[in-house]
Amino acid sequence: MSYVDEVIQEVEKKNPGEPEFHQAVEEVLDSIRPVVEQNEEKFRRDALLERLVNPERQIKFRVPWTDDNGQVHVNTGYRVQFNSAIGPYKGGIRLHPSVNIGIIKFLGFEQIFKNSLTGLPIGGGKGGSDFDPKGKSDREIMAFCQSFMTELCKYIGADTDVPAGDIGTGAREIGYMFGQYKRIRGLFEGVLTGKGLSYGGSLARTEATGYGLLYLTKAMLERNGKDIAGKTVLVSGAGNVAIYATEKATQLGAKVVTVSDSTGWVYDSEGIDLKALKEIKEVKRQRLSEYTKYRPNAEYHEGKGVWSVKADIALPCATQNELTLEDAKMLVANGVFAVAEGANMPTTADATKYLQENGVLFAPGKAANAGGVATSALEMSQNSERLSWSFEEVDGKLHDIMVTLFKHIDEAAARYGFAGNYVVGANIAGFEKVVDAMNAQGIV
Ligand code: NDP
Ligand code: 2IT
């Protein structure tokens, strides 16, 4: 059996009940076969792939907090410090009831290659908790965040591990976590990114993932002789990534006609009203069903359905495995010619294969959504030099990072005979730098 297949089998055996982690590992290892096969004996002797798929460290802890009625709750907190070959661990904190160790491991594993692709010195990590922020008061959110950080602060630091936002963690949560870190550790340092602008945050970090997604999508379209202006776009999700993907797509002359949340979705044939969307989601923290109050001509539907709408481009920006084979078939039948993942692994493996086989341009999340973490790394730079850059400077760097990133994955795919397959290109290009650093640093 090939070394790659041995390691895939071992991962499944050693990590039972973690299907998302298996899915992420299989995709990466399958893509890097041509690289490994060039020197299989060395890779095997050095147990390079075993070292890659086993986190350097994983931390699991109790998070007790008290609700507004005096009831105590206990959640589970996680931080997986996956790989520090090219820099301090870097990756978000997810707060969602679906969080378990397998979810955090899949996200941490993806983050290794994503962070490598940014070209910046950041290793891979991820954290989170099964805490559900929905419906909680500000005081309850603060109580949870303080308790979470009381334990996490022992393991992180500006030069060791720098968490950030993800699903359920935005500027409010980062603020409470930063305050507690500073209080306990006595350090005002860049230990978290996505901070508020008044205490070390970076301009354009809020917008970065969505904007970066569109910069990469535009580069991919141009490489294939197409333009984004005038196209109809489907966006799923209605959170940080979805909102700023919608904003940048609109600025580039496209029309976004859908957004969704966990209870339903909106179709607005005239184009999503950004002001209304931000008011509902960022200010009032309401359900998307409120949208039709602002736009009476739009439609609101319960449940899933974004991928059934006729369009040119699809941008899944909600969560993992939200775009299935059945959805992929609808997209192709409806004329969608490009899919770029704003979320992490939103497309199932069989759906990805179907889209690629049917000629759809497909940009995987670890490339397409890397603008968020790249801008986090720019926030770290600004914190280190104790300076703040202008919006234009950060946004300009983000743009260049995404265009360069696309060039690298395009070249890597072609170099190994997979021209146009950006899944293979992203995995190989991300892997090459990490492997080089791991080899240089010996068996650790
Ligand atoms: P937010 O919490 O801001 O928004 C998430 C959105 O997705 C919400 O509209 C939410 O709906 C919806 N959603 C979440 N989980 C589910 C689910 N299980 N089923 C249906 N809908 C769901 O998160 P972000 O926008 O930050 O993150 C979205 C995706 O992008 C995630 O995959 C994240 O890992 C990825 N990402 C985020 C980056 C960032 O910088 N924030 C960077 C790179 C990737 P509801 O509110 O109803 O739960
Ligand atoms: O998935 C991701 O890349 C993020 N949630 C952002 C991580 C970060 O450190 O900014």
Tell me whether residue 154 is one of the annotated catalytic residues: no
Do 74 and 63 touch, CB atoms closer than 8 A? yes
**Alpha carbon of 166 to ligand 2 centroid (Å):** 6
Which of the ligands is closest to the CA of residue 320?
1
Q: How far apart are CA 193 and CA 142, in angstroms?
A: 18
> Which atom of ligand 2 is nearest the CA belonging to 369?
3
> Which atom of ligand 1 is nearest the CA belonging to 365?
44
Closest Cα to atom 48 of ligand 1: 262
Check pocket membership of 128 for ligand 1, CB cut-off 6 A.
no
Q: Give the pLDDT score at 311.
A: 98
Check pocket membership of 269 for ligand 1, CB cut-off 6 A.
no
What is the Cβ-side half-sphere exposure of residue 346, based on CA atoms within 13 angstroms? Answer: 27
Which of the ligands is closest to the CA of residue 111?
2
**Alpha carbon of 241 to ligand 1 centroid (Å):** 7
Closest Cα to atom 43 of ligand 1: 369
Q: Give the pLDDT score at 293.
A: 98
Q: Give the pLDDT score at 90.
A: 99
**pTM of this prediction?**
0.98
Closest Cα to atom 28 of ligand 1: 318
Q: Give the pLDDT score at 283.
A: 97
> Which atom of ligand 1 is nearest the CA belonging to 320?
32
- Backbone phi and psi for residue 428, each to the nearest 5 degrees, phi listed first: -70, -50
**Alpha carbon of 183 to ligand 1 centroid (Å):** 29
Q: How far apart are CA 389 and CA 378, in angstroms?
A: 9
Q: Give the pLDDT score at 62.
A: 98
Q: Give the pLDDT score at 29.
A: 98
Which of the ligands is closest to the CA of residue 263?
1
Closest Cα to atom 46 of ligand 1: 261
Q: Give the pLDDT score at 108.
A: 99
Check pocket membership of 318 for ligand 1, CB cut-off 6 A.
yes
Pick the catalytic residue from 90, 114, 126, 195: 126
**Alpha carbon of 315 to ligand 1 centroid (Å):** 13
| b/e 409-440 (16+ beta carbons within 10 angstroms → b) | bbebbeebebebbbbbbbbbbbbbbbbebbee
**Alpha carbon of 240 to ligand 2 centroid (Å):** 11
Low-confidence stretches of the chain (pLDDT beneath 50): none
Q: Give the pLDDT score at 316.
A: 99
pLDDT of 252-309, one tens digit each?
Answer: 999 999 999 999 999 999 999 999 999 999 999 999 999 999 999 999 999 999 999 9
